């Protein structure tokens, strides 16, 4: 039987007594889906997965995304992305995921993301302590804690999300080797709008669906007012009581609900402190088929 231990923080739980390298039963799928809705972030420790097994497990939850940048993919498995600071012959072998600041993956896409599945293979350490933690914040709790008058004002409004905002911010990071998006890449991911308060398809509860990584404008408001309210929301959603920090260990499989959380990878390790993680990103097409 699956054993679940809540983190005791703003979200997150540890899930044990399940081997993700084996085929997933319908019952286990529904259990994990429900746990994602309830806890937002799940850690499955002590897993041993091939890239194919990581892909197979992830595909139980929806269609897998192939990143628009089309780089740092597992050979023969483009759905598996490499997140790493390691280099071979002086060239990066993976996409650095630290230093991105707070964001929600795929909010810039018409079909948003449901969950990310990350498998930790090499985790940097210093003085015995793991580096490169991943932080999360609970967007259901953030919505509930909003002032009632602001909830009423914003209800039914939409937010514009733009992939290029995030990409340009990452290009400004020290040591970044990212090139600007090509015109073709920008056309492949034009800005899109989503409800500012999204109804979560698993729980049926409202969540705040706006993030500093991609959100650029509340469409129904004048620009100045939109900027002011987004700045408030971005500060509000990071209050300590909403937060959880995952400290990685080799063999961890970490899943999180992109619809109900925002996250941030902490860049506290150096180029000579290797980090190697594989990732699959699952789209929410089972919940929003009309957007596919």
pLDDT tens track for 155-190: 999 999 998 887 777 777 766 777 888 888 888 889
pLDDT band for position 100 (50/70/90)?
A: low
Question: What are the structural domains, with CATH classification, of the chain?
Answer: 3-284 (3.60.130.10)
Residue 98 has pLDDT above 60, yes or no: no
Mean pLDDT of 194-201: 97
pLDDT band for position 292 (50/70/90)?
A: low
Measured CA angle at 205 (ends 202, 210), to 5 deg: 100
Average pLDDT, the chain: 92
Entry pTM:
0.92
pLDDT at 36: 97
pLDDT at 67: 73
pLDDT band for position 253 (50/70/90)?
A: very high
Residue 149 has pLDDT above 60, yes or no: yes
Closest CA to 201 of 56, 68, 36, 48: 36
User: Rounded to whole angstroms, what are the CA distances from 54 to 16, 66, 118, 252?
Assistant: 17, 15, 9, 12
Q: Are 206 and 143 in contact (CB under 8 A)?
A: yes
- Cβ partners under 8 Å of residue 2, min gap 6: 15, 16, 17, 18, 28, 31
Q: What percent of the chain has pLDDT over 90?
A: 76
Q: Cα(38)–Cα(203) distance, rounded to whole angstroms?
A: 8
| 94 CA to centre of own chain | 17
pLDDT band for position 214 (50/70/90)?
A: very high
Helices of type H across the chain: 26-39, 51-58, 139-144, 148-154, 163-171, 183-188, 223-236
């Amino acid at each position: 039987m699956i054993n679940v231990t809540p983190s005791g923080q703003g979200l997150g739980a540890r899930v044990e007594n399940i081997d993700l390298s084996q085929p997933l039963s319908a019952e286990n799928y529904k259990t994990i889906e429900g746990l994602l809705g309830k806890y937002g972030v799940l850690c499955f420790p002590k897993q041993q997965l091939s890239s194919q097994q990581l892909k197979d497990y992830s595909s139980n939850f929806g269609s897998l995304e192939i990143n628009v940048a089309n780089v740092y993919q597992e050979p023969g498995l483009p759905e598996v992305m490499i997140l790493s600071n390691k280099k071979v012959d002086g060239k990066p072998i993976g996409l650095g995921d630290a230093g991105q600041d707070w964001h929600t993956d795929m909010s810039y896409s018409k079909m948003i993301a449901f969950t990310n599945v990350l498998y930790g293979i090499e985790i940097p350490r210093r003085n015995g302590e793991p580096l490169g933690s991943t932080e999360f914040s609970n967007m259901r709790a953030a919505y509930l804690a909003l002032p009632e008058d602001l909830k009423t004002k914003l209800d039914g409004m939409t937010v514009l999300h733009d992939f290029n905002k995030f990409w340009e911010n990452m290009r400004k990071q020290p040591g970044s080797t990212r090139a600007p998006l090509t015109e073709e890449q920008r056309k492949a991911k034009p800005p899109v709008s989503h409800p500012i308060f999204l109804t979560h398809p698993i729980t049926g509860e409202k969540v705040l669906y706006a993030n500093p990584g991609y959100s650029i404008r509340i469409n129904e408001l004048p620009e100045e007012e939109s900027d002011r309210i987004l700045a408030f929301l971005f500060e509000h959603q990071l209050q300590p009581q909403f937060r959880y920090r995952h400290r990685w260990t080799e063999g961890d499989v970490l899943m999180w609900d992109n619809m109900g959380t925002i996250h941030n990878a902490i860049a506290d390790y150096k180029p000579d402190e290797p980090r190697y993680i594989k990732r699959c990103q699952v789209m929410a097409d089972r919940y929003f088929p009309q957007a596919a």
